[in-house]
Structure 1
Amino acid sequence: MAVRQAVFLVGGKGTRLGALTATTPKPLLPIAPDMLVLDLLIENAARHGFTDIVLLAGHLGDRVELLYHGRRIRGATIRVVREPEPAGTGGALRHAAELLDPWFLLANGDSWFDINLCAFAVAPPRNGLARIALRRIDDCARYGSVELHGKRITAFVEKKATAAGPGLINGGIYLLNRAVLDHVPGPCSIERDVFPALVRRGGVEGQVFDNYFLDIGLPETLAQGRREFPALLARPAAFLDRDGVLNIDRGYTYRPEQLYWTEDAREAVLALNEAGYLVFVVTNQAGVAHGFYHEADVHAFHARMQAELADIGAHVDAFYHCPFHPDATVRRYRHPSHPDRKPNPGMLLKARREWRVSDRGSFLIGDRESDIEAAIRAGIPGLRYEGGSLLATVRQALAAVRPAPSVPPPAPILLDTPAMQAG
């Protein structure tokens, strides 16, 4: 079963930010004109399929609770748990023990590591309790390092003992088994106290990423984030037709058991996820208009698609469908030319309104002229899928339109070693 719970440590005092955090928790600082740090983290987890998001609050936790407890963001439900007194990251996790799933994602609430969270959480370790996302950097001497042999972490090396040169550091995102709490004796740091003990038992995996990373715990890194994030938050989008592109079209396909993927379709979505693209499905569903099935059936089919994508660490950010048709037999779905029905671009334009979409690098893949016409009307390239490997078609599209990064990945600055602290 896919991991669906994401837990964020948002209880630190943020003393290194001085007056900025005197009355505002660090994760509630603005990182872009219309976005707080915690908004960014929650939305990112939700779009990767995490539907249960738990915020472990401490310092000024009432502010976090007021803003987020009970909210729903992109289909995810937010819960805030306030620790009664500071007990370190380990203590904060223990305080929420009754809420934790068997496997869950744990992340610091004051850093941004732009990885595919769905892929990171797929296939939890069979013989361990933890997986840590690692970041490769050019010089570990200032930060301390992580030693990795194969998939297994063998040591955390303090910065005083770390030689200059390239290496791996802790990226502050973890996949944990709830049994890790058996190794949390009480108030402690999960990074300093728990992980090293688990490593000595051989129970911690490491997974290496080179993606953009920034910890906003220092004035200079917060300023850097505010300079870079407005451009980084807008992602190019891949708009994918459904029947005949992602799944084999058997004529009004709507039952979940009728889902048969086209060649390499799931791998194509995963490739887009890994490339940093938003992925949207845009599909005409005239079968609803003709009374062959209901919109609830469309949603059920999409849920099946999402579940099978999650099995390989892939995801669709949002599904858009148009149930309208000029010759509909169901009166409420009859419309001469609904703005959402391709070749009209309404579904593409709706995605633009609801998400931070960069037109630069965006494209559509469809199997009909109406798909390509919708892309043209939306002002983006359209690519015709002629069958065969969808992954090959996606790679062709990426090679043709993928934009160069506007901001180079920065060298991360960590607050502490061997791992980042939430405070």
Structure 2
Amino acid sequence: MTTRQAVILVGGKGTRLGALASTTPKPLMAIDGDTVFLDALLLEIIRHGFDDILLLAGHLHDSVLERYQGRSIRGASVRIVVESTPVGTAGALKNAAHLLDPVFLLANGDTLFDINLRRLSAGLEKRPDVLGVLALRRESNATRYGSVKLEDGYVVAFHEKERGSGPASINAGVGVFRREILTFVESVPCSIESDVYPRLATARAILGEELEGYFIDIGTPESLDKARRDLAGRRRPAVFFDRDGVLNRDAGYCHRVEDLEWIPGAVEAIRCVNESGAFAIVVSNQAGVARGLFRGADIDRFHAAMSAQLAAAGAHIDAFYFCPYHPDAVDAEWRHTDHPDRKPNPGMILRASSEWPIDMGASLLVGDKESDMEAARRAGIRGRLFPGGDLYASIRWEIERIAAHCARARS
């Protein structure tokens, strides 16, 4: 079952920020214009397919309620749980026990780690013997954070902050957990970091995975300023994929879930795009709607099945775009002589670029038809014709090129 819930801790007091946090919750610190840090974090989480968001609020919770209560963000619903008295991060999680899914993503609202989050959820699904997988990051100086000790993939110890501690793995503030971790909350107030995680480590019930990616913790005025410099106007490349014949076998007007068959190397290619730091976006002509063979709802179900299978493999598509229009449509609703979204027109690509922070100059479209290549040309991006065979093998060097671009942008 695909993990869809994300729980975000937004109740901290932000003591180290001093006067900056006296009237504003730390996750709601302004980053760029009207954008606050939590907006940027939510975008990262939601684009991975987590569409049930729980914000656990405490300190200055009215500001959180005012900004997010009842909102839908890119199709994800947002709910807020307010603690009546301070009970610590683990206490806040226990306070929301009645709303928790069996498995959920857990993130600190004041840190952002730009990684493939689906890698964590897929890792937990393969290990029923543990209760969580925690994302770790290697730091050259772990003095500020404390360190985490790994043995054979298990987290076995958490060490307190020590001056001059040198390079070490740190807790990067995000992980995927089973609801049963609440059994390790013996009393409140209780801290996840100081109380629950060490108990999980002692029980060998938590895994750690050391990952690379942009990381920021806005706990100090200096790091908040850095986040503002780094995240303001931040864009990333996109790999646009045609669908039928590139990602899945083209059996002719594919729309039935039972007919979904992946092209060899397609799942690996998508996962590697995810790992590179780029967006993975599908842009597909779907004339079967215009011809009356199926409906838009059938395409949505097909895409949902693709997303579920990708999630199980530790991968995701950030967005699906499809064009149902055709000059020979049987229904006038879908009849159009030259719809701007229908490839070789670039409408879907341009629409995605207006809806997502995409670096078009570094982006790529992978397709199996000359109409795909023409759409890429009209959109001003590179096109890569897929001749068949193994998709990952065919575009591996392109993905590596994009990964190198993203790494330079993060440094």
The 2-side partners of 1:279 and 1:329 are apart by 32
> Residues 12 and 359 (structure 1 numbering): CA distance in 2 closer, same or farther, change over 3 Å?
same
The 2-side partners of 1:394 and 1:80 are apart by 42
Aligned to 1:387: 388
1:17-38 C-alpha deviation (Å, 9 max, x unpaired): 1222111111111122342111
Aligned to 2:212: 210
1:122-166 C-alpha deviation (Å, 9 max, x unpaired): 142321222211111123345321110111011112233x87432
Contact residue 278 and residue 402 of structure 2 kept, 8 A = no
> Residues 218 and 30 (structure 1 numbering): CA distance in 2 closer, same or farther, change over 3 Å?
same
Aligned to 2:141: 139
Aligned to 1:199: 201
Contact residue 142 and residue 159 of structure 1 kept, 8 A = yes
The 1-side partners of 2:299 and 2:143 are apart by 53
Aligned to 2:38: 38
Letter aligned with residue 136 of structure 1: R
The 1-side partners of 2:252 and 2:202 are apart by 57
Q: CA deviation at 1:332?
A: 1.3
Q: In structure 1, the residue corresponding to 2:118 is in which secondary structure?
A: helix
Contact residue 236 and residue 406 of structure 2 kept, 8 A = no
Q: In structure 1, the residue corresponding to 2:301 is in which secondary structure?
A: helix
Contact residue 278 and residue 406 of structure 2 kept, 8 A = no
Provide structure 1 residue ranges, at least 5 long, that are not aligned to the other structure. 410-423
Q: In structure 1, the residue corresponding to 2:66 is in which secondary structure?
A: helix
The 1-side partners of 2:298 and 2:218 are apart by 44
Report how many aligned residue pairs link the two structures.
Answer: 407
> Residues 193 and 102 (structure 1 numbering): CA distance in 2 closer, same or farther, change over 3 Å?
same
1:85-126 C-alpha deviation (Å, 9 max, x unpaired): 111111111111111111111110001111111111114232
Q: CA deviation at 1:271?
A: 0.6
The 2-side partners of 1:286 and 1:274 are apart by 32
Letter aligned with residue 5 of structure 1: Q
Query: Normalising to structure 2: TM-score of the pair?
Result: 0.96
The 2-side partners of 1:44 and 1:262 are apart by 27
Q: CA deviation at 1:360?
A: 2.6
Alignment of 1:314-325 (within 5 A): 314-325=315-326
Q: In structure 2, the residue corresponding to 1:257 is in which secondary structure?
A: helix
Aligned to 2:252: 251
Q: In structure 1, the residue corresponding to 2:232 is in which secondary structure?
A: helix
Structure 1 position 302 matched with structure 2 position 303: yes
Q: CA deviation at 1:400?
A: 5.0
The 2-side partners of 1:123 and 1:208 are apart by 13
Letter aligned with residue 10 of structure 1: V
Alignment of 1:11-50 (within 5 A): 11-50=11-50
Aligned to 1:119: 119
Q: In structure 2, the residue corresponding to 1:360 is in which secondary structure?
A: helix
Q: CA deviation at 1:313?
A: 1.1
The 2-side partners of 1:398 and 1:164 are apart by 36
Contact residue 137 and residue 169 of structure 1 kept, 8 A = yes
Alignment of 1:61-210 (within 5 A): 61-124=61-124, 125-160=127-162, 164-184=165-185, 185-210=187-212
Contact residue 10 and residue 58 of structure 2 kept, 8 A = yes
Contact residue 361 and residue 380 of structure 2 kept, 8 A = no
Letter aligned with residue 323 of structure 2: C
Which one has more relative contact order, counting CA pairs under 8 Å at least 6 apart? 1
* Deviates most, 122-131 or 248-257: 122-131
Letter aligned with residue 57 of structure 1: A
Alignment of 1:273-292 (within 5 A): 273-292=274-293
Q: CA deviation at 1:336?
A: 0.8
The 2-side partners of 1:399 and 1:314 are apart by 17
Contact residue 228 and residue 407 of structure 1 kept, 8 A = no
Q: CA deviation at 1:314?
A: 0.7
Contact residue 262 and residue 390 of structure 1 kept, 8 A = yes
Letter aligned with residue 47 of structure 1: R
Q: In structure 2, the residue corresponding to 1:42 is in which secondary structure?
A: helix
Q: CA deviation at 1:58?
A: 0.3
Letter aligned with residue 194 of structure 2: R
Q: In structure 2, the residue corresponding to 1:122 is in which secondary structure?
A: helix
Letter aligned with residue 395 of structure 2: V
The 1-side partners of 2:255 and 2:120 are apart by 30
Contact residue 123 and residue 133 of structure 2 kept, 8 A = no
Q: CA deviation at 1:366?
A: 0.4
* Deviates most, 35-44 or 274-283: 35-44
Q: In structure 1, the residue corresponding to 2:224 is in which secondary structure?
A: helix
> Residues 10 and 141 (structure 1 numbering): CA distance in 2 closer, same or farther, change over 3 Å?
closer
Contact residue 237 and residue 402 of structure 2 kept, 8 A = no
The 2-side partners of 1:393 and 1:155 are apart by 43
The 2-side partners of 1:272 and 1:93 are apart by 33
Query: Normalising to structure 1: TM-score of the pair?
Result: 0.93
After superposition, the CA RMSD in angstroms is 1.5
Aligned to 1:414: none
